[in-house]
Amino acid sequence: MLRGRRCLSPVAGIPRLMGYKDKPCIMVSNVSVLLYFIVALIISTVIIYYVAKFFGAKDSLTTALIAALIGTAVYTIFYYVLGQGLIAAFIAGIVWLLALQKLYTIGWFKALIIAVFIWIVTSVAGWFLPTLTGPI
77-136 pLDDT, tens digit each: 888 888 888 898 899 889 989 999 999 988 889 989 988 898 888 888 878 776 555 554
Please report whether residue 8 resides in a domain: no
Please report whether residue 12 resides in a domain: no
Range of the domain at 110: 36-126
Mean pLDDT of the chain: 77
- Residue 70's CB is within 10 A of a number of other CB atoms, namely 19
Q: What's the average model confidence in pLDDT over 14-26?
A: 49
Q: How far apart are CA 95 and CA 72, in angstroms?
A: 11
Please report whether residue 25 resides in a domain: no
Asked if pLDDT for residue 26 goes beyond 60, the answer is: no
Chain-centre distance for alpha carbon 126: 10
Q: Domain count of the chain?
A: 1
Model's pTM, two decimal places?
0.67
Please report whether residue 74 resides in a domain: yes
